[in-house]
Structure formats: C-alpha cells, structure tokens
C-alpha cells in the first residue's frame, strides 16, 4: 500500500508540477505584462507633467509681450530682408564665443532670460537650457549660450510650429553634454489666442526620473525593467550607462508592432520571459509629437523617429519558484498523509483482521477433527455475525459427525451380527449326525442327495480342501515306485 501510494504521489506530483509550471509561466507573463503597462503609464504621466510645466511657463505676460515686440520688428520686413537679417544675427552669434559680449549678453540678461533663469532656480535638477524664439525662429531670450541664434530650420522647431497649427513636441536628444545627462527637449508653441507668436524649448534632464522608475520596479519585483527605443537602444537600465546597450534582436520585431505584447526568448541558452508596452505619448500624435535627430552638435545618440517602450525581462526560474515551493509543500503533505494512512491502515488491518485470523485458526482445528472448538464473539457487527454462524456450523457439524459415527457403528454391528448368525447357522448344519456311506464315504444332505465329503463340508463350513496321498495309499496305488525306492516320498 505504501509503495502504491508513493507511486500515485509521484505521478500526481509530477503531473501537477508540469501543469503548475505552465500555469506559473502564463501567470507571470500576464503579471509582467500588467507591470510593463503600469510602468509605461507612469512614464507617460511623467512626460505629460513635463509638457504641462512647459506650457505653464509660456503663459507669463513678459514672454508674450517680448514676443509681440520681436515679431513686430521682423514682420515690418519682407521675407528676403527678414531672412537676411536673421542670418546676419545668426552669423554674428556663432562667431562670438564670449558670453560677456554685449550682443550675446543682451539675449541672456533681458527680462525674458531672467524669467527663464528663475525657472531653473525653482527646479535646479530639472532644467538644462531654456530659450524662446519668435514666430520666425529668431532667438528672443535664453538661459545660456546656444550654438545658433536662428532655429526655424531645425526639426524640433518645425515639428512644434506644425504649419501654424502648433503642437507640443518632445525632442529625444539623447545624452546632452550641456547638462551631462539624458536630455528630453520639451518644445511648446507660445500662443496669443489662436496665433503662434513664438516657440519655447526646455531641455530637461530626465535621467533621474527614468532611474527612479527602473529602480522602483527592480526593488519591488522580480526581473529587470528596461526603457528602450523602438530600434533597440536602451535608454535606461539599472547599473548600465544610458544608450550603451541594446535589447536582443529577437524582440525588435515585437517592438515595432508598438503594442502591449509578451514573448519568451532564449539568448545564449538562457530563457527569458519578456513583456513590453509602448509609451503612447512617444508614439506621436496630432497633439504631441515625438522624435529627434541622430546627431547634433551638443548631444549624442539622438532619436531617429523612434518611440519608447518599457520592457521587463524575468528568468523563468523566478516565475516558477513559488510553483516549485508549492509542489514541494504538496509532496510533503501527500507523503505525510500517506504515512498516516499506512499507519492507520496497518492498525485497522490488524484490528479488523484479528477476528478473521481467529476464524481461520479455528477452521484449521475443525479440519483436524476438533469439533469442540468455538470462536469468541466480541462484537455485534458483521464479524460477530460471522462468528455466531461459524459456531452454529461447528455445533451442527459435531452433531452430524456424531450421528454419522453412531450410524456407522450400527451398520458395523448389524454386519457383525449377520456374519455371526451365518457362521452359527453353518456350525449348526455340521452338528448332529451325518449320514455317510461306509464304502465311498459320501454324505447324504437334507434333500437326499449324496455328496462327496469335501464338497459337503466346504458348503456347510468355511473349510477349504487341498488334496494329497498318504504313504499307505501311495504304496498301494503306485507299488512300482515305492517298492524300488523306499526313500521316496509322496
């Protein structure tokens, strides 16, 4: 029973373990799918917050007044004159490296520049450069010396201006040397009612928020969270320099689908459960654009029109660790239960089998002819009923055997009497006077017939005859033999 139970426990536990592993893997895929989506939504809300703060900055009256004045100065010129003047100012700006130069300084100390620097003071760890251009792309005020004064030709400016309709544009600049960190340019149009009067750009260091998202996940959950671009370049990963690694090529196809997805990959013989979710705000829309330029003067590894994704990697062994613990617990519980069942079964077996064994022993006694054997009745259950029936059977069998013995004795007695009677009758027949012939010695029977003496005696007794010749008769009958040989014997 223990062996059979152990085999049952083994096969059931093995089947349960396989099924439990499959369920654990599927559940973990669902779990990391939800977590990746949660991280994506958190990152998206963070980017929305940055865009909202930038929009708030554009509402300052000093900015709008300065932009109206700058636009008025340039709008009085025709297109050719305006382009020439902006290019001349841009040339002068690029050729002047001294920030104390009155020309450069005028853009960095005017009321607009002071207002923008005040925002940097309020959130010193957030902002890098902040600057604003008029509707023609010419610089109006800045917190620092930029590479150029003219900006209307740049992709981020064009994307935010959006053919006069205006929209927020998130410029994924990559690693920016000006702030020594990962920079996202938040570009927002400045509007006067429905008209775009300028473009504001805030270079925001988002390395800290990205690190917080990654480390918060890794602290609370299994596996490793990465934030990566659609092309595979990793923006943020715990303990790794931004934009220095790539995700496995095997999941690039799934990333390009730009939807929440899960898969299982194997890299260098190591399996990984993978879940990914796009950061929707980085996918681009009519309200918020997203992208970048691969290279620029002051930033490295910029975006090439890719979106962002939160990607979670979890080793399967982590996913099934709880399942393995559950399986081990179940096996232990099964073995303990099996042990208890075997012990109880052994006890009950002996307890229940004892009357049966007793019956078997008594049956053996009966088989050897001991009909005085009786079974002790200790219960009123089926075993007790069987014992009563057994005892009744023994009593009946004893009576039957006694009757049989008595009948056999009677039969033997009758047979002996019959034989004795016959013997006596035969003895009586040979008693009294027998009429015998004086010459031939024949005997006459009751019916008047003469019988040879040996035939008569044989018929009326249990005597058998054997014939021989006495010496006297032999000499008389065979004189030729006995006369010549006196030593001859018959």
Give 171-200 pLDDT, tens digit per residue: 987 776 655 668 889 999 999 988 999 999
Q: Kindly give the residue spans of alpha helices, DSSP state H, lying in 162-298.
A: 207-220, 252-256
User: pLDDT value at position 186?
Assistant: 94
Q: Can you read off the two tokens belonging to residue 418?
A: 């019959």
C-alpha span between 179 and 125 (Å, rounded): 10
| pLDDT at 394 (0 to 100) | 67
**Cα-Cα end-to-end distance for the chain:** 89
What pLDDT shows up at residue 473? 83
Residue with tokens 């089947």: 15
At residue 275, the pLDDT reads 95
DSSP label at residue 346: H
Which residues face 171 on adjacent strands?
185, 291
Which residue, chain included where needed, has tokens 């009085």?
Answer: 76
Distance set, CA 30 to CA 23, 33, 485 (Å): 11, 5, 136
Identify the DSSP state of 182: E
Residues (pLDDT < 50) of the chain are 297, 428-429, 487-490
Q: So what's the pLDDT on residue 367?
A: 65
Q: What share of the chain is helix, strand, coil (3-state, %, to 5)?
A: 55, 20, 30
Q: What pLDDT, on the 0 to 100 scale, is given for residue 327? A: 62
Cβ within 8 Å of residue 258, ≥6 positions away? 230, 278, 283, 307
- Which SS3 state, helix, strand or coil, does residue 168 take? strand
pTM of the model: 0.63
Burial class (CB in 10 A: 0-12, 13-18, 19+), 79: exposed
Report the distance separating Cα 40 and Cα 276, nearest Å.
9
């Amino acid at each position: 029973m223990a062996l059979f139970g152990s085999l049952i426990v083994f096969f059931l536990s093995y089947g349960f373990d396989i099924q439990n592993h499959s369920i654990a893997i599927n559940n973990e895929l669902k779990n990391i799918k939800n977590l990746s989506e949660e991280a994506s939504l958190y990152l998206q809300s963070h980017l929305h917050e940055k865009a909202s703060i930038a929009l708030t900055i554009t509402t300052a009256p000093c900015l709008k007044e300065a932009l109206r004045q700058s636009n008025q100065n340039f709008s009085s010129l025709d297109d050719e004159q305006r382009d020439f003047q902006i290019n001349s100012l841009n040339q002068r700006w690029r050729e002047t490296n001294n920030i104390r130069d009155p020309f450069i300084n005028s853009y960095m100390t005017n009321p607009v520049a002071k207002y923008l620097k005040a925002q940097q003071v309020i959130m010193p760890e957030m902002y890098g450069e902040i600057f604003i251009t008029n509707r023609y792309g010419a610089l109006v005020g800045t917190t620092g010396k930029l590479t150029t004064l003219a900006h209307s030709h740049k992709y981020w400016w064009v994307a935010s201006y959006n053919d006069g309709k205006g929209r927020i544009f998130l410029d994924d600049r990559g690693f920016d040397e000006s702030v020594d960190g990962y920079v996202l340019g938040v570009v927002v149009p400045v509007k006067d009612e429905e008209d775009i009067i300028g473009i504001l750009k805030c270079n925001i260091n988002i390395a800290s928020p990205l690190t917080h998202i990654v480390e918060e996940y890794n602290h609370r959950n299994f596996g490793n969270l990465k934030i990566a671009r659609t092309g595979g370049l990793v923006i943020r990963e715990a303990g790794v320099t931004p934009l220095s690694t790539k995700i496995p090529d095997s999941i690039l196809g799934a990333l390009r689908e730009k939807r929440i997805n899960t898969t299982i990959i194997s890299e260098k013989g190591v399996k990984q459960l993978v879940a990914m979710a796009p950061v929707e705000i980085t996918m681009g829309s009519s309200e918020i654009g997203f992208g970048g330029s691969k290279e620029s003067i002051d930033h490295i590894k910029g975006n090439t029109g890719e979106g962002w994704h939160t990607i979670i990697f979890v080793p399967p062994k982590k996913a099934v660790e709880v399942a393995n613990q559950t399986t081990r617990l179940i096996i232990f519980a099964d073995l303990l239960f099996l042990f208890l069942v075997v012990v109880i079964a052994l006890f009950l077996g002996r307890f229940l089998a004892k009357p049966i064994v007793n019956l078997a022993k008594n049956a053996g006694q009966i088989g050897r002819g001991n009909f005085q054997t009786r079974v002790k009745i200790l219960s009123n259950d089926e075993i007790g009923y069987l014992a009563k029936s057994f005892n009744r059977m023994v009593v009946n069998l004893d009576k039957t055997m006694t009757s049989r013995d008595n009948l056999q004795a009677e039969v033997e007695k009758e047979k002996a009497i019959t034989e004795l009677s016959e013997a006596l009758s035969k003895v009586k027949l040979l008693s009294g006077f027998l009429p015998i012939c004086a010459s031939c010695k024949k005997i006459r029977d009751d019916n008047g017939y003469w019988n040879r003496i040996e035939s008569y005696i044989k018929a009326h007794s249990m005597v058998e005859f054997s014939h021989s010749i006495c010496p006297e008769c032999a000499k008389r009958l065979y004189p030729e033999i006995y006369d010549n040989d006196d030593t001859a014997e018959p």
